[in-house]
Amino acid sequence: MPSDPGREQAVCVDFGSTYTKATLVDLVTGAVAGRTEHRTTIDTDVLDGLDACLATLGLADAVARGEVPVLACSSAGGGLRIAVVGNEELVTAEAGRRVALSSGGKVVAVVAAAAGPVRLDALADPDVVLLTGGTDGGNAEVILAATRSLVGSGWRGPVVVAGNADAVEEVSALLADVPHVVAANVVPRIGVLHPDGARAAVREMFLSHVIGGKELSARGDGGEFVAMVRGATPDVVLTGVEVLAATAGDVVVVDVGGATTDVHSVVELDPEDGALARDVVAPTAVTRTVEGDLGMRWSAVTTAEASGDDALAAPAARRAADPAYLPGSDADRDDDEAIARAAAGLALRRHAGRSRVVVGPEGRVVERTGTDLREVDLVVASGGALRHGRPGVVDRVLAGSTGPDVEGGWQLPERARVVLDADHVLAAVGLLAAEHPGAARLLAGGLLGAPRVAR
């Protein structure tokens, strides 16, 4: 669709691990004016796939002339890999892991410095290290020891420091010429988790060190690609979910991908529940989990294994061996839906967890894991397997994971409306949120007008 010179428009692009998806948005009405996708061209230049999308939309000349801006996010080339280094795993490292996930990264390692020296191989080749440790005003040696150990391991890549505020000057001196940025402590005091500062710092490191470092494009010495990217795709999508939640109320998004299944939620915390709950690390309203063993192609085998369904073993192996595989028959589509149902169901349960009431010396206490999704107002389903599936695919994939009859004490949505993000707009909403907040709200509102999935 050619650009309309009489309208304000922007192209929102998601450079995914498999497909590059382009959405043309009318900035006045917030409507989707066009959408297309092309395989992500990692084998040549990542911008080749964008060129193909712009040609299909009839926007190549308008973009070249600067009439239509391009805003992009990326998970191409493996996305954002984060290793968390904390003092001990139960509190600070776990808090760091949660922050890393909300920052749009895949957590590849969680290292507790108290257990021994940090080894370079234990970091699992991350793009960024998130360094945590100690409460503000607490024992400064906690994060200093972790820093010495990290530097001693030979790590010379980007570091985000989000620990004891009283120690950051010494931490910066120890890191010396290792690229690093300081953020607010993720655990400023016991029982409190503040992820926002670290999340912003991780985004800064992603843009300044990771995107260019992956050398996905040679155009303009890589600068053309770097200039259009606003963040890691999962981070941008989570921003889109936050915009949607401001209008829709509590929201959960389940995105079934080829390699991972991501769950994003924005849930207002109940202070009364918090007072009765026993949590190792304080819950937050905005949460994201990434299940690296659950997916439609690269992770199909581990999805089948986790599901316990032996009938999925052969179909999963076939898809893992050929990630570009497309189902060609109804039987193949049935297998795709079964794998998607396993991935979505397991990912939602891991995100939501369970709760139970126990009575002990402290009185009535709620023991829980995960994020309570029972009162969520809206469930948004996403992912290629759902967007391109047969009619009714979302209902079949989420069967047993939503509704009032879920068994086993899982904190899953009971009365939520379920919709499909058919146009992949949440990434576009997140991309528009900072520069075009009105258009972002209108675009997100379009999901509220999407047809309800039949229950």
**For 425, phi and psi rounded to 5 degrees?**
-85, -20
Which has the closest alpha carbon to 410: 454, 339, 345, 359? 345
Residue 334: the pLDDT is 97
* Sign of the dihedral through C-alpha 436, 440, 443, 445: negative
Query: How confident is the model over 412-429, as pLDDT tens digits?
Result: 999 999 999 998 899 999
Residue 260: the pLDDT is 84
Diameter over CA atoms, the chain: 71
**For 194, phi and psi rounded to 5 degrees?**
-120, 95
Query: How confident is the model over 231-283, as pLDDT tens digits?
Result: 988 889 999 999 999 999 999 999 998 888 999 999 987 655 544 444 545 56
Query: How confident is the model over 300-343, as pLDDT tens digits?
Result: 999 999 999 999 999 999 999 998 888 999 999 999 999 999 99
Q: What is the per-residue DSSP string for 229-241?
A: EEEEHHHHHHHHH
Which has the closest alpha carbon to 296: 399, 233, 370, 387? 387
Across 57-79, average pLDDT:
92
Residue 443: the pLDDT is 96
Residues 6+ positions from 275 with CB-CB distance below 8 Å: none
Pairing of the two strands 128-131 and 81-86: parallel
With beta carbons less than 8 A apart as the criterion, state whether 213 and 226 touch.
no
Query: How confident is the model over 169-223, as pLDDT tens digits?
Result: 999 999 999 999 999 999 898 878 888 899 899 988 988 888 888 889 999 888 9
Residue 339: the pLDDT is 98
- Residue 41, helix vs strand vs coil: coil
Residue 212: the pLDDT is 83
Which helix (H) or strand (E) segment holds residue 244: the answer is: helix 233-248
Give the residue with greater pLDDT, 357 vs 247. 247
d(CA 99, CA 404): 31
With beta carbons less than 8 A apart as the criterion, state whether 409 and 215 touch.
no
Domain ranges across the chain: 9-68+217-231, 78-209, 249-422
Q: How far is CA 188 from the centre of its chain?
A: 24
d(CA 203, CA 235): 8
Query: How confident is the model over 215-224, as pLDDT tens digits?
Result: 899 998 889 9
> Which residue type, as a one-letter code, is found at position 402?
T
Q: What is the per-residue DSSP string for 273-325?
A: HHHHEE-SS---SEEEEEETT--SSTTHHHHHHHHT-GGGHHHHHHHHH-TT-
Helix 437-448 vs helix 233-248: crossing angle, to nearest 10: 70
CATH fold for domain 78-209? Rossmann fold (3.40.50)
Which helix (H) or strand (E) segment holds residue 130: the answer is: strand 128-131
pTM over 0.75: yes
